[in-house]
Structure 1
Amino acid sequence: MKVKILLVDDHDALLSGIKLWLSQVEEWEVVAEASSGEEAIELTRSLKPDLVLMDISMPGIGGIGALEKIKEENPNVKVLMLTMHSEEEYLKRALIKGASGFVLKKAAHTELISAINTVLSGETYIYPSLTNLLIKGFVGKDEEGKEQNSKRSLLSEREEEVLKYIALGFTYGEIAKQLFVSIKTVEAYKSRISEKLKMKRRSELVRFAIDEGLISINE
């Protein structure tokens, strides 16, 4: 069965180019194209795509507004954001709302297929030049003065460390390299974290990490 992809962008020329690039992969099928966030929401409801490839900046509700609604109604759908922006504010908001990754439009022709494969495998794809930007914007000192009975107290020091990386959008492979452990070990930590916190969705873990001061966001 082919992977169903919905394309969303208000620039026809870019949509045509992306559709051409995606046609290189036989297992993928572009099931529809949309030019607004509102249209993307409706098409996601009716077509139930596996992946939504969407511009972050569009008129109306915009990409982030559409992302939030799509993930609320279809939590299992992957949403990969296309962006011309390298401002951390756009990226942080999209990550918190449940984006599976980001690709800069100027690099789409070289990075898109790799990004989609990464996202479809269940990991997060962040274009390399954006990674440091996100780290600078997100990482902060642990917040002091939290109540002792917080769910955070259930986590070990290493589990907190893994949670930070997950919230920042690192893949399991990237976390494994940072911590000098195997990918299976990282997956085991993630499973324990989700079980302890009763949170399965990455967006829930991101919000928890922010609320507990493990990472910070300046809104």
Structure 2
Amino acid sequence: MNILMVEDHRLVADAMKVMLAEIDPGIAITPCYSTQHALSVIDSGKRFDLILTDLYMPGIDGIGLLVGLNNRKKRFPVVVISGSDNDKVIRLAMDHGACGFIPKTLPSAEMIAGLRHVLGGGRFFPERFADYDRQLRSGERNTATNQNASGLRPGQKQLQVLQLMADGNSNKQISQIVGISEATVKYHTSQLFKLLSVKNRTSCVREAQHRGLINSFDNESDQLNAVDASIIAAHHVANKSDDTLGSRPV
């Protein structure tokens, strides 16, 4: 899992690294100490599963980073972490496409829960912004304000991984289809196990179908079609050239 962290205070950045290690010990963090540096890294073509940015920094601030990403048509999930809890600033971050806003005064356990939810495809903002977020999302249900990670519904990205898992795809195939690293697929899978209180893929799919989270097979023919699709996907991935696979940053 790759995370770009934009924070001009190195002490705060080091503390964030420790907290992120609790989410995934194998996490890869690219630190940037200015927005200008972050934008240059993004312009290099490197891909990230999440961008964490401070709000107030010398030069271009966190809102400027969001604007820069929008101008570049880059769609990375961005979470703003700030000492400010100002409503106007939070609304401004939301308007410019942030997926989350976490005050630095929030307990670390709740910060971790919020970041995990965003990594799962959800959104995380102070609870008082739930209605405003729903307006921005055109009525889409917002579950990001729930701070108990174990009680959260799977996010959009996790549901996508879940459906592909149910269709018989391997982690490698899912990573190619969704366009994320294989490590991120494994992370989403482990989080799904926790959310659904299961210990393996088979139980995960069955529980998800029982809850109506994904499509279930109506008959044997549907199941065979899914298996055929999985074989075709595997053949497609296996026959991709090494150059093609290697050109995709993870």
Normalising by structure 1, what TM-score?
0.58
Deviation at 1:166, TM superposition (A): 2.9
The 8 Å contact of residues 17 and 29 in structure 2, kept in 1 or not, is answered as no
Q: Deviations over 1:128-162 (max 9, x none)?
A: xx332x369x59xxxxxxxxxxxxxxxxxxxxxxx
Indicate the residue corresponding to 1:166 in structure 2: 137
Tell me the equivalent position of 2:236. Answer: none
Q: State the partner residue of 2:96.
A: 97
Task: Report the Cα offset of residue 170 of structure 1.
Answer: 6.0
Gaps of 5+ in 1: 140-162, 175-182, 188-219
The alignment yields a C-alpha RMSD, in angstroms, of 3.0
Structure 1: how far apart are the matches of 2:50 and 2:4? 6
Residue 42 of structure 2 is aligned to residue 5 of structure 1? no
1:63 aligns with 2:59: no
Who wins on radius of gyration, i.e. which is larger? Answer: 2
**SS of 1:106 mapped into structure 2:** coil
Alignment of 1:91-170 (within 5 A): 91-107=90-106, 109-126=108-125, 130-132=126-128, 134=129, 164=135, 166=137
1:121, distance to aligned residue in structure 2 (A): 1.8
User: Aligned pair in 2 of structure 1 residues 17, 27: CA closer, same or farther (>3 Å)?
Assistant: closer
Aligned pair 1:77/2:73, yes or no?
A: no
Instruction: Compute the displacement of 1:106 (Å).
Output: 2.0
Q: Describe the superposition over 1:43-67 as per-residue Cα deviations: whole angstroms up to 9, x where unpaired.
A: 2233221110100111111000011
Distance 1:166 1:51, change over 3 A: same
- Structure 2 Cα separation of the partners of residues 85 and 30 of structure 1: 27
- How far off is 1:123 after superposition? 1.4
1:25 is matched with which residue? 23
Unaligned runs of 5+ in 2: 146-152, 157-250
> In the aligned structure 1, how far is the partner of 2:144 from the partner of 2:107?
22
Query: Could you say what secondary structure the match of 2:137 adopts?
Result: helix
Say whether the 8 Å CA contact 1:19–1:30 is kept in structure 2: no
Amino acid at match of 1:81: V
Aligned-pair distance for 1:99? 0.1
Q: What per-residue deviation string (whole Å, max 9, x for no partner) do you get for residues 29-86 of structure 1?
A: 2331111111111122332211101001111110000112123325331101101111
Q: 1:91 to 1:173 in 2, by over 3 A?
A: closer
% identical aligned pairs:
23
**Partner Cα distance (2:85, 2:69) in 1:** 23
TM-score (norm 2): 0.51
Alignment of 1:24-63 (within 5 A): 24-26=22-24, 29-46=27-44, 47-63=46-62
Residue aligning to 2:149: none
Does the Cα contact within 8 Å between 1:124 and 1:170 map onto a contact in 2? no
Distance 1:66 1:112, change over 3 A: same
Q: Measure the CA separation in 1 of the matches of 2:144 and 2:11.
A: 35
**Number of residues paired by the alignment?**
148
Q: Does the 8 A contact of 1:38 with 1:61 survive in 2?
A: yes
**Aligned 8 A contact 2:83 2:103 in 1:** yes
Change (3 A) 1:90 1:25: same
